[in-house]
């Protein structure tokens, strides 16, 4: 078993790549991005939506 570490990566359709070290962090980062860049869509997403779209990928 390797000792790889992971983070959460979410590619916003606007082109911005968002990352977070934990589920809580990626949700926080995603909502901050929504509020700042896409305020009209901020109410369309819930925590579960963000976590579903985020990919858990290897972090170096």
In the complex, minimum distance from the CB of residue 60 to other proteins, in angstroms, rounded to a whole number: 4
- Identify the three-state secondary structure at position 6: strand
- How far apart (Å, rounded) are the C-alpha atoms in residues 14 and 21? 22
- Binding letters toward other proteins, positions 10-49, x by CB under 8 A: -x-x-x-x------------------------------xx
User: What's the angle, vertex CA 8, arms to CA 26 and CA 1, rounded to 5?
Assistant: 145
- How far apart (Å, rounded) are the C-alpha atoms in residues 57 and 32? 21
Residue 53 makes contact with other proteins by CB under 8 A: yes
The binding site for other proteins (CB under 8 A) comprises 1-2, 4, 6, 9, 11, 13, 15, 17, 48-49, 52-53, 55-60
């Amino acid at each position: 078993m390797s000792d790889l570490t992971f983070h959460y990566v979410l590619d916003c359709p606007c082109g911005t790549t968002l990352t977070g070290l934990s589920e809580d962090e990626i949700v926080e980062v995603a909502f901050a991005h929504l509020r700042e860049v896409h305020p009209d869509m901020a109410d369309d997403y819930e925590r579960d939506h963000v976590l579903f779209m985020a990919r858990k990928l290897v972090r170096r």
